[in-house]
Amino acid sequence: MLLNVHIKNIALIDDANVNFTDNLNILTGETGAGKSIIMGALKIGMGDKLPKDIVREPDKEGFCQLLFLVDDPQVIEQIRDLGVEPSEDGEILITRRINNSRTINTINDMAVTAAKLREVSALLIDMHTQHQQQTLLKKAEHMKLLDKYGRASIDPLKQKVAECHREYVTLRREMDELSMDEAERSRKVEFLKYQIAEIESANIKTGEDEDVEHQYNRMVNSRDIVAAASDVYSVTGYESSSSAGNEIGRALASMKGIKDLDGEIDGLYSQLENIDALLNDFNVELNDYMQSMDFDDSEFRSVESRLDVINDIKGKYGSTVEEVFKYLEDSRKEYERLSEYDEYIAGLSDKIKKAEKAMLKAADALTAERQRQAENLCRDIRDALADLSFMEVRFDMVFDRLPECTANGIDDCYFVISTNVGEKMRPLYDVASGGELSRIMLAIKSCMASEDNIGTLVFDEIDVGISGRAAQKVAEKMAVISRSHQVISITHLPQIAAMADSHYLIEKSADEGKTVTRIVRLNDEESTEEIARLLGGVTITEAVMSNAREMKQMAEKTKKY
């Protein structure tokens, strides 16, 4: 559930800190008080794109923080799968800080992307807005709702269809790529034959390119290398009287006469002997190295020629020897296919038929399960609509078949509805009444809520276009949902406000020459006064107050059943 929302320097909100409770949380306020800003702030916290100029005072930080408590083990595991670790007591703290058009997003103090915010918040909160309500008018959304409702049994079948479709598409793509006339096939076979022979004749070994290039670089630079090595040899060897070897020899002779006179001298003499031995070994190895650099022109031309062959092959068939080998392997396979073209095409055609049959079988199984789940969903929605004063409603789902199977199956399905006796069923996306759409969406939400484990449901403008008895039924349905889920709703209807377990007032006022929006939780008497305002408008009479009290009393009785 959503425990707390803290907003600073966002739109008209200077600093608002709201603690929400279990069950039904209702927010009311005058038109223009900033109710939409509260919903906008929630969306920002959930990772939505930041509106332009959202920060109230640009030279200060904008801040939005949502604190959730998660106690469902399955949701906790899903959050962990997204790389986020809840606190020991199950808290998830989402924070967005906006500074100079830059946003820093964190979850439990771990920096994350806005996309990660959306993924995590989607497991915690389900927000219904008037915009979302319009998704009912999109045919494609209907099957998404069905699949979400029956995901436990539908998802495995969807996965099977996707796997079969992927196999089928891969085989069809291969068939399309191999489709060619006899002349084209002959040209390709000959070209592959030439490429295979060229690579094989080069007889390149793994790592040979690096070895040959190393040899070539040594030979190309041998003159400079030998000249420098000779200088080193003359300095460290024994060829001149000033060479290091000779100088150390003279030093050893000088120390030999005195080493027996003092034990410390003897130790130093031993160190110098080691230096002389090391220098001698160094000069022997250096001389051997210079001798190895002695090669004739034929050796150089041989290495140069081999390097040219290797680089030529790599230039044509891959930047590395491993890529060349992979190209050779693929070419051999394709040569074999094209050499036995008719037999291969026949075999491939048979594989395509079997893959298509398996795909359609999986799609039919998916369709059958979707139809079973659609019966359950439509029955639940009909019951929920009856609770919302759709007295003679009929609600069903029509299944059509797509021309071709997709990775999502072969179904083209959509909801149909009739709200009056004698009225024919018509697609839900043809429903025009805002009030009907609001109640239908609430009915669907109530059915979906029983199937998912999202802790918090937020309704913004769910009461659009309704009043009277319909408003009362919507309030009762929201109260029912709030028994198993935390519900947060903005409303302008007194029937819904009276049903609140926690009632909040959103109001706008002037503070030090600035317009600010604040949110306060109302006690019972203040809640009654706010309901009276919703009932009576500007002038609140005793009769209106009495009506408001009675409405709250009736709501309390309704919530007990």
Q: Provide the 10 A C-beta neighbour count for residue 523.
A: 10
Phi then psi for 92, rounded to 5 degrees?
Answer: -125, 115
Chain Cα centroid distance, residue 3: 26
Helix (H) or strand (E) holding 116: helix 114-122
Q: What is the pLDDT of residue 295?
A: 67
| pLDDT score at 513 | 65
Instruction: Compute the distance between CA of residue 362 and CA of residue 357 in angstroms, rounded to an integer.
Output: 9
End-to-end CA distance of the chain: 24
Find tokens 């130093």 and name the residue.
268
Average pLDDT per block of 10 residues along the chain, 561 residues long: 88 84 90 72 83 79 89 88 89 88 87 90 81 73 90 94 96 83 80 92 90 80 68 74 79 79 79 85 79 71 86 90 92 85 84 96 97 94 86 91 95 91 84 72 80 80 76 86 88 90 86 76 92 82 89 85 69
pLDDT at 282: 86
| Residues constituting the chain | 561
Cβ 409 vs Cβ 165: under 8 Å:
no
What is the pLDDT, as a whole number, of residue 464?
Answer: 72
- To the nearest 10°, the Cα dihedral for 425, 428, 433, 439? 100
Q: Residue 140: which residues within 8 A CB-CB, separation 6 or more? A: none
d(CA 365, CA 360): 9
SS3 label, residue 553: helix
Bridge partners of 508?
517
Q: What long-range pairs does 313-322 form, CB within 8 A, spacing at least 24?
A: 313/198, 313/199, 313/202, 313/204, 314/209, 316/195, 316/198, 317/195, 317/199, 320/209, 321/204, 321/206, 321/207, 321/208, 321/209, 322/206
CB-based contact 478:146 (threshold 8 Å): no
For the sheet containing 514-522, what is the strand order? 125-128, 456-460, 486-490, 24-28, 502-511, 514-522
Structure tokens belonging to residue 498: 């009276």
Amino acid identity of 170?
A: T
Letter string b/e over residues 156-170, b meaning 16 or more CB atoms within 10 A of that residue's CB: ebbebbbebbebbee
β-bridge mates for residue 487, sequence order: 24, 457
Phi, psi of 488 (to 5 degrees): -120, 125
- β-bridge partners, 68: 2, 92
Helix (H) or strand (E) holding 490: strand 486-490
Are the CB atoms for 192 and 335 separated by under 8 Å?
yes
| pLDDT value, residue 223 | 66
Closest CA to 48 of 127, 115, 132, 142: 115
User: Alpha-carbon dihedral of residues 492, 494, 500, 504, nearest 10 degrees?
Assistant: 50
Amino acid, single-letter form, for residue 225: I
Q: Are 20 and 502 in contact (CB under 8 A)?
A: yes
The confidence score (pLDDT) of residue 409 equals 95
Beta-bridge mates of residue 15 = 8
537 neighbors 548 (Cβ within 8 angstroms): no
Q: What is the pLDDT of residue 154?
A: 95
Chain-centre distance of CA 534, in angstroms? Answer: 43
Indicate the residue type of 224.
D
Structure tokens at 29: 């306020």
Tokens of 213: 């290039």
Q: How far is CA 86 from CA 91, 456, 518, in A?
A: 6, 17, 30
Residue 515, beta-bridge partner list:
510
Report how far residue 55's alpha carbon sits from residue 60's, in angstroms, rounded to the nearest whole number.
Answer: 8
Q: Give me the residue label for tokens 């000249």.
A: 227
Q: What is the dihedral of CA 198, 199, 201, 203, to 10 degrees?
A: 160
Quick check: 161 and 363 in contact, CB under 8 A?
yes
d(CA 249, CA 241): 10
> pTM of the predicted model, to two decimals?
0.64
CA gap 12, 54 in Å, rounded: 9
367 within 8 A of 150, measured Cβ to Cβ: no
Which residue shows structure tokens 């029983």? 450
Cβ(497)–Cβ(491) under 8 Å? yes
Do 405 and 161 meet the contact criterion of CB atoms below 8 Å apart? yes
Domains of the chain: 1-124+454-561 (3.40.50.300), 187-339 (no CATH)
Half-sphere exposure (Cβ direction) of 381: Cα atoms closer than 13 Å: 29
